[in-house]
Amino acid sequence: MAHIVLDSCAGRDGGREALEAAAIASLQLDHQITVVGDESAITDALAKIAHDAERLRVAHARDRCEPDQDAADVLRQAPRNSIVVGLEIAARDPSAVFVSAGAPGTIVAGAQQILNRIPGVPHAALAAVYPTLRPHGPVSDLFALLLDVGATVECSGDDLVTFAAMGAAYASKISRIDRPRVALLCNGHGIANAPVRAREAHRRLLAAKPAFEYVGCIRADSVTSGDADVIVTDGFSGDVLLRTLEGVAATGESLLRRAAEKFQWRVGVQMLSDGISAIREFTDWENYGGAPLLGFGRAVVVTQADSGRRAFLNAIRLGAKIDRLQVIAAVSEGVAAFHGLSGPPRAPAPDPEAT
């Protein structure tokens, strides 16, 4: 039984839907749930919501953080906020999974202060799924993994190869892929014109002969092909790519709807309407819960700022699956095995602009 620690101070309706998701989960799922936030407000709200009081607990966080605040300011000015309190609870419990729709920067900064980092991991990575044309693995998973999508904006070659090891270990557990195919996101089919960090990572991945299959570089216009199970990049590029994929999906849905309105025959309208519904269901991020933050000794799932009940429920289910499949242990083992083959990560080179 997993212990889900849920931040109730973020998400749709000021966190109200996060609380409602926790109440539903306490009735439907076999997990212990701790809701973090203003204890008085949570207790008053729960009095009006059906829930299992034996499975749902409340942990008080006296401070509240605003989503647009700088992470360092939040941790300094609101030290007992729901993110910090939730991460502290998770740190004390090996079965705990922390779920939050708070600002990713604050979650990452808090995790760096509170949670133990997996040995061999210089920086953490947020991993997101995206749909592909071809399925993956024996369960025909229709989604591939992209990391990093925002946790570490400035990356070194060491970061990228470690992200590759973490992403492959995650995919091997979640999608049951024995030997995941891993690619580096590049600006061409070859590595010659890629940044130094990507060229270094490419060289090390070719030389390491890791437990996963390194398939080389992949361009952004090929990421949805399904040629790779895991795509690795820095947090800035990954976030831009993920938002672009989401925007293209939304644009495609709008164009189909516009075309449907122009059809004058019923069958055509019905066919396009069915297509629109299928696209919406396939690309709706709320169906997949959130992005796991990989690199720490506890599971952390980050959901989008406007998450509703469905997104939180699916994030809870994802967190419970990560716990059940012992994904964090697999990630730790994958990183250790990779660096045992390719050598430990080196200290980052000094920034010439800082001297």
CATH number, domain 123-286+326-355, options 3.40.718.10, 3.40.190.10, 1.10.260.40, 3.40.50.1820? 3.40.718.10
What pLDDT, on the 0 to 100 scale, is given for residue 139? Answer: 83
pLDDT digits (tens, 9 = 90+) for 51-86: 999 999 999 999 888 777 788 888 888 889 999 999
The CATH fold of domain 1-115 = Isopropylmalate Dehydrogenase (3.40.718)
- Do 123-286+326-355 and 1-115 fall under one CATH topology? yes
pLDDT of residue 263: 60
Q: What is the pLDDT, as a whole number, of residue 10?
A: 84
- The phi-psi region of residue 326 (left if phi > 0; otherwise alpha if psi is between -120 and 50; otherwise beta) is left
Please check the confidence at residue 354 and state whether its pLDDT lies above 60: no
Amino acid at 129: V
> Is the distance from CB of 201 to CB of 167 less than 8 angstroms?
no
Task: Kindly list the domain boundaries of the chain, sorted by start residue.
Answer: 1-115, 123-286+326-355
pLDDT range class, residue 223, cuts 50, 70, 90: confident
- What number is the average pLDDT over the span 117-121? 94
The pLDDT value given to residue 246: 73
Query: Is residue 275 scored above 60 in pLDDT?
Result: no
Mean pLDDT of the chain: 86
Tell me the average pLDDT across 239-265.
Answer: 70
Q: Within 78-181, where are the H helices? A: 82-92, 104-114, 157-174
pTM of the model: 0.87
Does residue 353 register a pLDDT over 70? no
Query: Rounded to whole angstroms, what are the CA distances from 173 to 169, 180, 201, 293?
Result: 7, 10, 24, 15
The pLDDT of residue 349: 47
pLDDT of the residue at 351: 43
Residues 199-212 pLDDT 10s? 999 999 998 878 89
Q: What number is the average pLDDT over the span 295-323?
A: 92
Rg (CA), the chain: 21
289 — pLDDT class (breaks 50, 70, 90)? confident
Average pLDDT over residues 265-282: 55
**Mean pLDDT, residues 312-324:** 94
Specify the pLDDT at position 140: 82
Measured at the alpha carbon of residue 185, what is the angle toward residues 184 and 188, in degrees to the nearest 5? Answer: 110
Tell me the pLDDT tens digit for each residue of 330-350: 999 999 999 886 555 554 444
